[in-house]
Amino acid sequence: MPARLNPFATEIGPKITRHLQAAHHELVATTVPTGTMELVNIRVSQINGCGACLDMHVKEAARAGEDALRINLVGAWRETTVFSDAERAALELAEAGTRLADGAGVSDEIWEAAAKHYDEEELMVLVSQIAFINAATRMNVMLRVQGGGDKAGSLG
């Protein structure tokens, strides 16, 4: 299925991309481990059905040193033993923050579980990253951007 349009062939696309990349650079320069951020990105990409983002973040996770087994098990994180309690809390927050329309949203229990492992600054980073990757996945899905051609490190 071909993409609906090339965002870089528009006037606004490159401008928006520069701002999104600037936000991304701020988020990765924090104390939340890169591996955790990429696991969150993978899970949100899976939920939203974004092949382009999934392609990118699987490669970025591997580049960050994530083990192939852990990358492959992100979609079943609840049923595995390979994620730490902190990673589980981040993944649960990502799922709840992505599936807002499904009902409960981010419950106090989910928030408190994340707050056991992350300080306020790190929680803000996670919330921002979850919002950021949701925006990116949803734009790519609407535009039908295809996955498979990303090169690790393309975000800079």
Q: What is the pLDDT of residues 127-145, one digit of tens each?
A: 999 999 999 999 999 998 8
pLDDT number for residue 82: 98
Would the pTM of this model clear 0.75, i.e. be above it? yes
Among 114, 85, 82, residue whose Cα is nearest residue 97: 114
Domains of the chain: 14-143 (1.20.1290.10)
CA dihedral over 117, 79, 97, 152, signed as positive or negative: positive
pLDDT band for position 153 (50/70/90)? low
Per the prediction, the chain carries an average pLDDT of: 92
Alpha carbon distance 41, 150 (integer Å): 15
Query: pLDDT at residue 151 above 80?
Result: no
pLDDT number for residue 53: 93
Contact 145, 13 (CB under 8 A): no
